[in-house]
């Protein structure tokens, strides 16, 4: 065991390259596909059902999307918590930080702007939906 400890390339699985690779690699992708199909089907069901509490549905859909993103990352992109994957996970964490800042920051600022500077939220919505200027 004199192989130096480089981090693994993103997208490569940690399985050593021998005869087993074909089958076990296939198994990993298939598990990922099955989980992704289940999560996608659940998302579509949640969006269309009347059984669940309406205001909670967007949050539920977001949770399902996060879960499916995790499935894709682990089973398709092979981004895991292994010690040979630290660089990839750190880069991903930084990306997620920027994404959260951009999206949450935009929403908070625009909500505040509508709320404080122009008109109450409902009136602002009415104006935007009907294309009228005050």
SS3 at position 11: coil
- By CB atoms closer than 10 A (0-12, 13-18, 19+), residue 71 is buried
To the nearest whole angstrom, how small is the minimum distance from the Cβ of residue 125 to another protein?
5
Retrieve residue 132's tokens: 């009228």
In order of 11, 80, 124, the CA distances from 31 in angstroms are: 16, 15, 46
Residues 32-91 close enough to bind another protein by CB under 8 A? 32-33, 36-37, 40, 43-44, 46-48, 57-58, 61-62, 64-65, 68-69, 72-73, 76-77, 83, 87-88, 91
Closest CA to 33 of 72, 64, 81: 72
Asked if 16 is part of the footprint of another protein (rule: CB under 8 A), the reply reads no
Retrieve residue 23's tokens: 């089958």
Binding site for another protein (CB under 8 A): 1-12, 17, 21-22, 25-26, 29-30, 32-33, 36-37, 40, 43-44, 46-48, 57-58, 61-62, 64-65, 68-69, 72-73, 76-77, 83, 87-88, 91-92, 94-95, 98-99, 102-103, 105-107, 110, 125, 128-131
């Amino acid at each position: 065991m004199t192989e130096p400890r480089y981090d693994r390339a993103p997208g490569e699985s940690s399985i050593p390259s021998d005869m087993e690779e074909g089958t076990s690699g296939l198994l990993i992708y298939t598990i990922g596909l099955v989980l992704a199909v289940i999560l996608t089907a659940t998302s579509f069901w949640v969006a269309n059902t009347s059984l669940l509490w309406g205001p909670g549905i967007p949050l539920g859909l977001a949770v399902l999307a996060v879960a499916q993103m995790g499935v894709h990352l682990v089973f398709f992109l092979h981004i895991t918590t292994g010690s040979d994957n630290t660089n990839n996970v750190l880069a991903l964490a930084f990306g997620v930080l920027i994404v959260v800042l951009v999206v949450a920051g935009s929403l908070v600022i625009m909500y505040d702007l509508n709320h404080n500077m122009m008109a109450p939220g409902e009136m602002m919505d009415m104006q935007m939906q009907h294309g009228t200027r005050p």
